[in-house]
Amino acid sequence: MNTNVQGNAMEIAAIEAVSNGEAARRPAPELRPGKLPPNASLVNIPRLISAYYTGLPDVSVATQQVAFGTSGHRGSSLLKSFNEGHVVAIAQAICDYRARQGIDGPLFLGIDTHALSEPAYASTLEVLAANGVEVMIAESDEYTPTPVVSHAILSYNLGRREGLADGIIISPSHNPPDNGGLKYNPPNGGPADTDVTSWMQARANDFLRNGLQGVKRIGFDSALHASTTHRHDYLDHYVSDLVHVIDMDAIRGADIRMGVDPLGGAGVHYWGEIAERYRLNLTVVNEDVDPTFRFMTLDWDGRIRMDPSSPSAMQSLIGLKDRFDIAFACDTDHDRHGIVAPSVGLLPPNHYLAVCIDYLFQHRPEWSTDAAVGKTLVSSQMIDRVSARLGRKVHEVPVGFKWFVQGLTDGSLGFVGEESAGASFLRRDGSVWTTDKDGIAAALLAAEMTARNGRDPGEQYLRLAEEFGAPSFERIDAAATPLQKKLLAALSPEQVSSTELAGEAIESILTRAPGNGAAIGGLKVVTKNGWFAARPSGTEDIYKIYAESFLGADHLQSIIVQAQSIVADALAHGAGATIA
At residue 576 the predicted structure's pLDDT band, cuts being 50, 70 and 90, is very low
Residue 114 sits at the vertex; the CA angle it makes with 55 and 82, to the nearest 5 degrees, is 25
559-570 confidence digits (pLDDT tens): 999 998 888 877
- CA dist 36 and 237 (Å) reads 36
pLDDT of residue 12: 39
User: What's the one-letter identity of residue 510?
Assistant: L
Q: What is the mean pLDDT of residues 127-135?
A: 98
pTM of the model: 0.91
User: What's the one-letter identity of residue 282?
Assistant: L
Contact (Cβ atoms closer than 8 angstroms) between residue 434 and residue 151: yes
Q: Which residues are paired to 472 by β-bridges?
A: 549
287-329 confidence digits (pLDDT tens): 999 999 999 999 989 999 999 999 999 999 999 999 999 999 9
- CA dist 192 and 420 (Å) reads 19
User: What's the one-letter identity of residue 579?
Assistant: I
Q: What percent of the chain has pLDDT over 90?
A: 84
Contact (Cβ atoms closer than 8 angstroms) between residue 453 and residue 460: yes
Higher per-residue pLDDT: 475 or 370:
370
Q: Which residues are paired to 168 by β-bridges?
A: 109, 184
Q: Which residues are paired to 496 by β-bridges?
A: 579
Radius of gyration of the chain, Cα coordinates, nearest whole angstrom: 23
- Asked whether the predicted pLDDT for residue 388 surpasses 50, the reply is yes
At residue 574 the predicted structure's pLDDT band, cuts being 50, 70 and 90, is low
What phi, psi does 211 have (nearest 5°)? 65, 30
Contact (Cβ atoms closer than 8 angstroms) between residue 337 and residue 425: no
Q: Minimal CA–CA distance to 389: which of 507, 473, 469, 505?
A: 469
| Helical ranges in 400-456 per DSSP H | 405-410, 439-453
pLDDT of residue 578: 43
Asked, colleague to colleague, whether 45-232 and 472-573 share their fold, the answer is no
Contact (Cβ atoms closer than 8 angstroms) between residue 428 and residue 364: yes
Q: How many angstroms separate the Cα of 384 from the Cα of each of 374, 392, 523?
A: 10, 9, 19
- Please tell me whether residue 179 adopts helix, strand or coil conformation: strand
- CA dist 18 and 401 (Å) reads 25
Q: Minimal CA–CA distance to 170: which of 202, 123, 222?
A: 123
- Asked whether the predicted pLDDT for residue 577 surpasses 60, the reply is no
Of the options 3.30.310.50, 3.40.50.300, 3.30.390.10, 3.20.20.150, the CATH number for the domain spanning 472-573: 3.30.310.50
pLDDT of residue 170: 98
Largest CA distance in the chain: 67
Q: What is the mean pLDDT of residues 502-518?
A: 94
- CA dist 570 and 572 (Å) reads 6
pLDDT of residue 537: 81
Q: Minimal CA–CA distance to 75: which of 173, 217, 144?
A: 173
pLDDT of residue 68: 93
Q: Which helix (H) or strand (E) holds 333?
A: none
Q: Minimal CA–CA distance to 150: which of 189, 183, 107, 106?
A: 189
- CA dist 335 and 356 (Å) reads 16
Q: What is the mean pLDDT of residues 116-144?
A: 98
Q: How many angstroms separate the Cα of 341 from the Cα of each of 260, 347, 450, 500, 519?
A: 12, 7, 10, 38, 36
User: What's the one-letter identity of residue 31?
Assistant: L
Q: Which residues are the active-site residues?
A: 173
161-186 confidence digits (pLDDT tens): 999 999 999 999 999 999 999 999 99
- CA dist 168 and 150 (Å) reads 10
Q: What is the mean pLDDT of residues 114-118?
A: 98
| Helical ranges in 65-145 per DSSP H | 84-101, 117-130
Q: What percent of the chain has pLDDT over 70?
A: 93
- Please tell me whether residue 474 adopts helix, strand or coil conformation: strand
Contact (Cβ atoms closer than 8 angstroms) between residue 311 and residue 346: yes
Q: Is 404 left (phi over 0), alpha (psi -120 to 50) or beta?
A: alpha
pLDDT of residue 27: 52
Contact (Cβ atoms closer than 8 angstroms) between residue 121 and residue 211: no
The whole-chain average pLDDT of the chain stands at 92
Regarding the domain with residue range 238-285+320-468, which homologous superfamily does it belong to in the CATH classification? Alpha-D-Glucose-1,6-Bisphosphate, subunit A, domain 3 (3.40.120.10)
Contact (Cβ atoms closer than 8 angstroms) between residue 64 and residue 80: yes
Q: How many angstroms separate the Cα of 461 from the Cα of each of 155, 323, 325, 382, 469?
A: 34, 21, 16, 10, 11
User: How deeply is 60 buried, as exposed, middle or buried, from its count of CB atoms within 10 A (0-12, 13-18, 19+)?
Assistant: exposed
Strand pairing class (135-138; 107-111): parallel
CATH architecture of 45-232: 3-Layer(aba) Sandwich (3.40)
Least confident of 15-19, 109-113, 244-248, 558-562: 15-19
- CA dist 406 and 470 (Å) reads 32
Q: Which residues are paired to 327 by β-bridges?
A: 259, 340
Contact (Cβ atoms closer than 8 angstroms) between residue 417 and residue 423: yes
Q: What is the mean pLDDT of residues 49-60?
A: 97
523-532 confidence digits (pLDDT tens): 999 999 999 9
Q: Is 346 left (phi over 0), alpha (psi -120 to 50) or beta?
A: beta
Q: Which helix (H) or strand (E) holds 156?
A: helix 146-157
Domain range summary for the chain, segments of one domain joined by +: 45-232, 238-285+320-468, 472-573
